[in-house]
């Protein structure tokens, strides 16, 4: 009973049942994100975590995939161990699934049903999921039919520090330096796609990870030329439609430089004095992408130098023009540029 009272006080709600009889009902993508954050924060596998908690691995993996709800006390234990805050949830008695979904589970499992009834139930479930994906895909295709210039910038971000997978995408940023840039990207993503962005901090690796979920979203991004899977193995390149306007080229270049670019001071000595000049560099391991970025810059009137895995703008006037015309949405680049200009005076 004491545990019940403590839980009710902690979550500022009335719990009609004891803590060990309550389950947390959480939105599917949010539950998956919570378990991913817990795993990354504790730096262990889900199987290891299941053993530590004394939970059958199959049960724990069902929780991770959000195919089953989780006991509330287990959610609190995971939050306490990892430091990951509890996501929004509703509370239900532990037998809520039996009361509300018994018939649904019977259809899904086929228990007590004929073979034809099981087939009809599985087909109906698959059609429902497919319809949800199609609806989301069509919504994005209609909203972004004009291919706004912001989408070209987002494509550059994804080709730089992003990763696209079957049912989600993520953008990996520097936790120390890119916090302000992450704020900008969250607003950009929400304005483009209208979906929730899940933000995760991983201090042990100095990472700030932005994640978005949805088969409709990833399917749409694949149709506009963003590849699913390992970018290095595929030697990715920019989508074809980026080449149709200089506005797209500039926006895509901005997204690429904001993620995989850097600003540093190039030094040159003349007699007894050392001079410093701001230099802009883009680095990537895709030869195709390096070629496209070099062509972008040349098309926009710059003089890029390519060496190995790097493309450099080293002419002082061109670097200044880049920041005036193409610009940056990553504050660390602009701060670094102004600092180098100041000490070069």
pLDDT at residue 155 tops 70:
yes
pLDDT at residue 15 tops 50:
no
What is the residue whose two structure tokens read 């991004």? 221
Structure tokens at 326: 């193409």
Buried b (16+ CB within 10 A) or exposed e, 19-43: bebbbbebeebebbbbbbbbbbbbe
Instruction: Specify the CATH architecture of the domain 2-89.
Output: Orthogonal Bundle (1.10)
pTM of the model: 0.66
For residue range 256-274, list pLDDT tens digits in order: 999 999 999 988 877 777 7
At 167 the three-state DSSP class reads coil
For residue range 286-329, list pLDDT tens digits in order: 999 999 999 999 999 999 999 999 999 999 999 999 999 999 99
Q: Give mean pLDDT, residues 50-79.
A: 82
Q: Are strands 168-174 and 310-313 parallel, antiparallel or unpaired?
A: unpaired
CATH topology of domain 149-344: Endonuclease I-creI (3.10.28)
For residue range 228-249, list pLDDT tens digits in order: 999 989 999 999 999 999 999 9
Helix (H) or strand (E) holding 80: helix 72-82
Share of the chain above pLDDT 90, in %: 49
For residue range 164-193, list pLDDT tens digits in order: 998 899 999 999 999 999 999 999 999 999
Task: Enumerate the domain spans of the chain.
Answer: 2-89, 107-143, 149-344
């Amino acid at each position: 009973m004491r545990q019940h009272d403590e839980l009710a006080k902690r979550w500022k709600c009335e719990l009609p049942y004891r803590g060990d009889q309550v389950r947390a009902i959480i939105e599917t993508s949010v539950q998956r994100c919570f378990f991913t954050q817990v795993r990354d924060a504790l730096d262990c596998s889900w199987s290891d975590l299941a053993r530590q908690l004394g939970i059958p691995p199959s049960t724990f993996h069902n929780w991770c995939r959000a195919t089953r709800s989780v006991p509330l006390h287990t959610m609190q234990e995971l939050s306490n161990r990892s430091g990951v805050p509890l996501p929004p949830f509703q509370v239900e008695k532990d037998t809520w699934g039996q009361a509300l979904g018994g018939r649904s589970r019977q259809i899904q499992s086929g228990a007590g049903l004929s073979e034809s009834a099981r087939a009809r139930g599985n087909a109906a479930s698959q059609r429902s999921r497919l319809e949800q994906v199609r609806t989301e895909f069509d919504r994005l295709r209609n909203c972004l039919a004009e291919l706004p210039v912001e989408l070209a910038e987002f494509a550059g971000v994804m080709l730089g520090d992003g990763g696209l997978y079957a049912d989600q995408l993520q953008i990996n940023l520097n936790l120390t330096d890119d916090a302000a840039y992450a704020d900008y990207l969250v607003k950009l993503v929400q304005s483009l796609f209208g979906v929730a962005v899940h933000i995760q901090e991983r201090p042990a690796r100095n990472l700030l990870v932005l994640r978005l979920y949805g088969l409709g979203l990833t399917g749409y991004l694949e149709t506009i030329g963003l590849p699913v899977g390992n970018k290095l193995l595929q030697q990715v390149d920019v989508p074809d439609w980026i080449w149709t306007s200089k506005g797209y080229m500039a926006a895509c270049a901005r997204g690429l430089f904001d993620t995989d670019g850097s600003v540093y001071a190039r030094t040159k000595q003349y007699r007894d004095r050392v001079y410093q000049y701001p230099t802009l560099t883009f680095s990537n391991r895709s030869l195709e992408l390096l070629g496209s970025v070099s062509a972008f810059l040349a098309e926009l009137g710059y003089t890029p130098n390519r060496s190995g895995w790097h493309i450099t703008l080293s002419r002082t006037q061109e670097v200044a023009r880049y920041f005036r015309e193409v610009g940056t949405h990553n504050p660390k680049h602009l701060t670094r540029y102004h600092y180098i200009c100041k000490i070069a005076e």
